[in-house]
Amino acid sequence: MKKYEEDKTLSAFISVIPVRDFFFLGVGNALVQSLGYIPAFGMTDITLKYYYQVLSEPVLLSSVKVSLIISVISSFLAAFFGVLLCAALVINGKVRNKTLQIVKIPILVPHSVVALFIIVLFSQNGLLARILFQVGFIDSQGDFPMLLYNTNSIGIILAYLWKEIPFVAYFVLAVMQSINTTLGEAAENLGASGSRSFFHITLPLCMPAINKAVLIIFAFSFGAYELPFLLGATIPKALPVQAYVEYIHPDLQHRAYAMAMNGVMLLITLILSVIYYLISRKTEQMSGEKHG
């Protein structure tokens, strides 16, 4: 039996090695190219000038800012409304019925389809503009605010909220339900009101799960390509879109810029991961001291 378990563990380890190696090989190759070392294109000098230009040229730096703004706003709005949705499901006991199945649907819808929904609903020729025009709130459909293909990135943020609010709710649901039915009910039996037990016990204990959900959706929205490409402004482009433009540039030496942009995305994601880890660890320690 022990031999079988050892063989099983070894087989699992061996099966993971190629995936791990290919991942680090790809990341390492991209980082090397971001330093300007691409012998196939006659580039053999190691330099940081591509990173410098990404972080100094106005057009490229604007792409970094656009991606950060979209990711920060969409992540925190999704966390806020996702937690509200999760709390509503838990408080009303809608965690094991058709309502929960409906909540899952937006998570399964592809981003390209979500982009189509947003265009149909929120463009100046969309459904909402037509309704407002028909009821007399606006004089023409052209008076409807331009939410898509604009530098305000509202269309992209709406599209991310479509998918991320249900994701946060579903991600936190099991933890919140468990805490609410054990410690929350115990607190209410001891005289605490429902809202007091939620804000002082249930919600603080859910923060590690909420933080993890925020990190996941931030990293995804910061590096995602589809929605900024389909709904974003022409200038400035989001960082992943600008990186793709540089990657397919006829001048193959521009590929170093694309890799430098990927390096910036990787660096920011790693920094946020470390910050998240430190915050999460501190939150867990404070929660343990408070309820220990």
Residue 1 has what pLDDT? Answer: 52
Look at residues 216, 218, 210 and name the one whose alpha carbon lies nearest to residue 283.
210
* pLDDT 10s digits, 52-98: 888 888 877 888 888 889 999 999 999 999 999 988 888 887 777 77
Percent of the chain having pLDDT more than 70?
88
Residue 120 has what pLDDT? Answer: 92
Phi first, then psi, for residue 55 (nearest 5°) are -95, 5
* pLDDT 10s digits, 164-221: 999 999 888 888 888 877 777 777 777 777 777 888 888 888 888 888 888 888 888 8
Enter the pTM of the model. 0.79
Phi first, then psi, for residue 193 (nearest 5°) are -75, 165
CA 235, CA 266: separation in Å to the nearest integer? 23
Residue 32: pLDDT over 80: yes
Structure tokens at 153: 């990135």
CA 258, CA 253: separation in Å to the nearest integer? 10
Which pLDDT band, with edges at 50, 70 and 90, does 128 fall under? very high
Residue 82 has what pLDDT? Answer: 93
CA 160, CA 154: separation in Å to the nearest integer? 10
Of residues 282 and 260, more confidence is placed in 260
DSSP symbol at 237: P
